[in-house]
Each structure stands twice: as structure tokens, then as C-alpha cells.
A = this chain, B = another copy of it.
Amino acid sequence: MATLGLIEYRDAAPEVRAVYEDILEVRATDRINNFWKAIANDAATLKRTWESIKEIMRPGALDPLTKEMIYVAVSVTNQCGYCIASHTAAAKKTGMTSEMFAELMAVVGMANETNRLAAGYQVEIDEAFLHPFGV
């Protein structure tokens, strides 16, 4: 299911089709994920989300695989079932090996643990951490 149903290409309005076509081309794939078909019920959200993701996920100071693994880390921390599945698949496709996945999980788990130890022990921020970039 999906709250408003899924919009298939054949039933889509022109501005939705245009986004679908751009997704297929940029990602060099032949299928549109349920995520896009679900938010396509709101053409403005579809377009804005896709344009943002396209801009953010392209190679820059960080490579696409690092970005996909960060996406997985956030999704796991948030317990988002759909996002864990879709971004793990995307990271795998971008080159994540099972060894990399396992290390990613280890770091995500540990960070979630120490985040609570730091909060629970009410640790004050060290002076040394205050201006990491010198500003």
C-alpha cells in the first residue's frame, strides 16, 4: 500500500513524467522506485525532492559511495525500514561490499551507544572541540 497510491508512468501527468525520465537517465536504470511513485502524488514535492537529491548525491568533495553509506547510517539510526532497504541496495550497487556494510553497521551501532553514554553521563563539551575549523 501507500497512503495515496503509486503513480505509474502511464498514468502520470507531464511534469511527473519529466521527473521520472530524468531519474531513469541520471541513474542509468529502467525502473522507478516506489518512493518516487508515492510522492509523485504531489508533483511539487516530487520535483523538489529529486532536484535536491540529484544535487546532493552527485560526486563532489565526497564520492557517491560515501554519500550512500551516510544515507544508510541515518536511515538505520531512524529505524526507517523502507530507507534502510532502498539505500542499502543503492550502496551495494555503487560498490559497497559486504565487508564495508559490516563495518558501516559496526560504526553506526557504536555511535548510537556512545551518543547515549555522553548524554546520560551529562558530559560537558571540551574546550578543545569548540572551534574545529578555527573560526
Name A residues whose Cβ lies closer than 8 Å to a Cβ of B.
1-5, 31, 33-35, 38-39, 41-42, 44-45, 48-49, 52-53, 55-57, 60-62, 66-67, 69-89, 92, 97-126, 128-133, 135
Interface centre among A66, A67, A86, A129 (most CB of B within 10 A): A129
| Count of this chain's copies in the oligomeric assembly | 6
The answer to whether B135 and A85 touch across the interface, beta carbons within 8 angstroms, is no
Contact A34 B124 (CB under 8 A): yes
The smallest beta-carbon distance between A84 and chain B, in angstroms, is 6
Complex: how many Å from CA A132 to CA B78?
Answer: 20
Contacts of A123 in B (CB 8 A): 2, 34-35, 38, 82
